[in-house]
Chains A and B, each alone.
Chain A
Amino acid sequence: MSADNLPYAADAESPLKEAELEVLRRQYEREGQYVSIQTKFNYAWGLIKSDKAAEQRYGVKLLTEIFRDAPERRRECLYYLALGNYKLGNYAEARRYNDLLLEKENQNMQAMSLKGLIEDRVAKEGMLGVAILSGVVIAAGVMGSFLYKGITKRSL
């Protein structure tokens, strides 16, 4: 795949205008049951670019359908699935897809940059989660120790 065949993750962060997404949606709905893969993808990509979680989720769902229906598009879909899941915060899934893609194309710039992004985000959130947990424990410890002291003092 050549360089400009896949968008970078930054592209996914810039939502389409309401009207633009509306055009894609109408096209998708007009083709109904026999929707072509390109149309479906256009709508799905538009949804993933959105900043609303519900739309992103629907976009990922459409992409999953494309992945199931069109084996020749699976490799591309991997990237978009990774990207969509990354935006949704499902880093485990995102990593699963992205790593698979990198396995197939180890020179894929977009996938590599996405990998970096995912890892950063996982690390950050992981840190934060642990920090919060430990904060709670610390607070409890401090409180407990004060209480303990108080009790021992009173008993003396």
Chain B
Amino acid sequence: MVTASHVNPLDADASLSALVSLQNTNIGSFSRKVTSTAGSLISPFSDSLAPGSHYHHAMTEVSKDLRRPSIQKRVFTFTKSSPSEIVRSKLSATEISHRALTYLPDELLRDIPDNDATYSLFQGFRASVDTAAAKKHREGKNLLEDGGPNSMSRLTKERDTMNEALDLLGIRKSIASTEIREIDAKISRLTSIRGTVLERLAKLEQEETELEHELLELDNRIEDIQYEMVEENSPIGGDEEGESGGFMSESIYSKLPSPKGRKHRSAHKRKSMPILHEHMPPGSEIKEMQCHADVITALDFDFPFGKLVTAALDDTVRVWDLSSGRGLGLLEGHHASVKCIQVEDIYVATGSTDATIRFWDLSRTDVPSHPGSNSVTHKRGPQSNQEEDFEDDMSAISSPTGPMSSAGTQDCHLLTLDSHIGEVTALYFQHGTLVSGSADKTLRQWDLSTGRCVQTLDILWTASSSASSEDSGWSNITSLGRSSSRTNMTEMKADFVGALQCFDAALACGTADGLVRLWDLRSGQVHRSLVGHTGPVTALQFDDTYLVTGSMDRSIRIWDLRTGSISDAFAYEHPITSMQFDPQRIVSAAGENVAKIYDRVEGRHWSCGAGVEGQKEDRLSTPAIVDRVRCKEGYLVEGRRDGVIGVWTC
């Protein structure tokens, strides 16, 4: 109709304006007549007849038909759309895009299931729009009721509205329940999508690890070639070269002495970090490995899916690749079982009952060294038989529980620290400083760049010479030791120094007397003692605010380092043997076949591991008790008494 006004001024013919007015009064089936009219109008051009008469004749015919709308309808139903619509749909850009967006293909239109919904969308619409109005209405009515006459009609009207309101409520209720069902469906859809994406992530990480490995091999080959070139250029000997050469990394560890006559590979840093475990539901199993045949005494790893170092009562220390589950080699040198391990980046410190601490460089494990070079002083030849080496290593790896060769790891040893005269039970290193605690009742501080002991802290001497509270604490030691063995401790005896950690000059150690001592390494003095545990402290860790300790007295205590008082504490059924925490959680081994986890954010206790209900059914034997736990970024590794290592997310 808009188009009419546009076209109108073009011709002043009266007939058109007549037509326009006609359209309001239901014009008849027009097109047929009009075409005939047009035909008769055009024909007179050649006949040179008066055009007006033809037109008039035609128009009278048309106006006859105008009284028969049914014919008009019949004529127009075969044209699916009106001309104005056609014009718009072909010319207007917004219209075209709108049509593209809202076009529904025929297959969708064919697929229309029967509707079994309890309410229609329109009812839902009315119900939600009326919500506000209905409430107001009810309030208003309550006011009216006070004074109005109780006429019959008014009451029935009220009853009707109430019934209506009730119906609306029913519809709203079913809207809500439908929405819940919709959300449930969406959740399940999303969960399945999440599953497939997780699988994809796992595959990507697998590829990533393989690539990293290949990259590392290439790096090492390049270095080998460089090394050979340097050796050829200086005929005097490669021994000095190794120490002063340019192969050192720039880290703090670069001061570490490189063993003479050996190839020093620069520290290889992974470019990528696995994140798969972060996306798995907490408590799901990642891996289980039979690492040793005896009780696991210590374990640590560098990062999730990285390298794991384990020690057991079978007196071996083994290195594992957590992403593949393969053994990489043995760390040989200790004459007795290892009681404490710390892995930091590529460096490993192990403290043993043979009273020594050994320091290792794990970056030398990846490419196996020469199988025949068992002599330390023997200068290594060129890497001619690299292939052979690799095969050798593969055969060693293929059986994880079988005999493992140290071929791949014998170059790892960097230092031996042997001043202790009792077994080393705890150690911690950071920034070139290592602190160890021993059964000789001393703590020693070592400089890792020289391998010398720089300070010895005598716990007994400090205990006897400092405050009275510590005196009483120390006098309890023997009795406490006995009491702990009377309780569930049949296999394990409490170590004198159960755990320690240092940060710069601050050192915390937990001892068998149940005390936690905070030392200042600069003065060598205890500046604070935390009293509370009634059994030997076996685990200890602190961050910038909190210090968390685990003890044979079955409790975990969280101390606030700013005030020196307990901020939280809880207890398990059995003595704590190992504990680690991060801002998220406190993971501990408490004499059960599961790792106990305390969620610090939610304040919730839960268990993770092979002994959890539901995990048990598909296992042949009941899992052994977990003795050692380590957890980094939600990646939990636990070591059991039967030599099995389990890896979980938490």
Contact = CB atoms under 8 A, between A and B. Distances in A.
Do A and B interact with each other, yes or no? yes
Interface of A: 1, 4-7, 20, 24, 34, 36-39, 41-42, 45, 57, 60-61, 63-64, 67-68, 71-78, 80-81, 89-93, 95-97, 100, 104, 119-139, 141-142, 144-145, 148-149, 152
A150 to B, nearest CB: 12
A64 B80 contact: no
Nearest to B52: A142
Given A72-B117, A91-B82, A127 B175 contact: no
Nearest to B179: A36
A72 B37 contact: no
A121 B117 contact: no
B158 to A, nearest CB: 21
Given A41-B121, A64-B102, A141-B45, A129 B175 contact: no
26 contacts: A5-B122, A6-B120, A20-B129, A37-B178, A60-B98, A61-B102, A71-B113, A74-B111, A74-B115, A89-B82, A90-B81, A91-B82, A119-B73, A127-B72, A127-B76, A128-B83, A129-B82, A131-B19, A134-B34, A135-B13, A138-B16, A139-B13, A141-B44, A141-B51, A142-B13, A145-B51
B98 A123 contact: no
A57 B48 CA distance: 52
Interface of B: 1, 3-4, 7, 10-11, 13, 15-16, 19-20, 22-23, 27, 30-31, 34, 37-38, 41-42, 44-45, 48, 51, 55, 69, 72-73, 76-77, 79-85, 88-89, 94, 98-99, 101-104, 108-109, 111-117, 120-125, 128-129, 175, 178-179, 182-183, 186
Nearest to B102: A64
A76 B121 contact: yes
Identify which of A64, A89, A95, A138 gathers the most chain B CB atoms within 10 Å of its CB. Answer: A138
A94 to B, nearest CB: 9
A46 to B, nearest CB: 8
Given A36-B182, A72-B115, A119 B41 contact: no
Contact of B16 (A34, A95, A126, A135): A135
Given A38-B179, A42-B124, A139-B10, A126 B115 contact: no
Contact of A123 (B51, B72, B94): B72
B30 A131 contact: yes
A37 B120 contact: no
Contact of B112 (A71, A80, A120, A129): A71
A135 B182 contact: no
Q: Is the interface of A mostly helix, strand, loop or mixed?
A: helix
A129 B88 CA distance: 13
Which of A45, A57, A100, A145 gathers most chain B CB within 10 Å? A145
A142 to B, nearest CB: 6
Contacts of A36: 178-179, 182-183
A135 B186 CA distance: 59
Contacts of A93: 99, 102
A14 B10 CA distance: 36
Contacts of B11: 135-136, 138-139
Contact of B81 (A57, A91, A100): A91
Given A91-B80, A145-B48, 7 more contacts: A57-B102, A90-B85, A92-B81, A125-B82, A141-B41, A144-B45, A145-B44
A128 B142 CA distance: 57
A129 B122 contact: no
A74 B112 contact: yes
A131 B102 contact: no
Contact of B102 (A60, A72, A149): A60
Contacts of B77: 119, 122
Contact of B125 (A4, A34, A41, A63): A41
A67 B7 contact: no
A120 to B, nearest CB: 8
A135 B14 CA distance: 10
Contacts of B98: 57, 60-61
A149 B48 CA distance: 8
Contacts of A57: 94, 98, 102
Contacts of B109: 78, 96-97, 100
Contacts of B111: 71, 74
Contacts of B125: 38, 41-42, 45
Nearest to B112: A74
B630 to A, nearest CB: 39
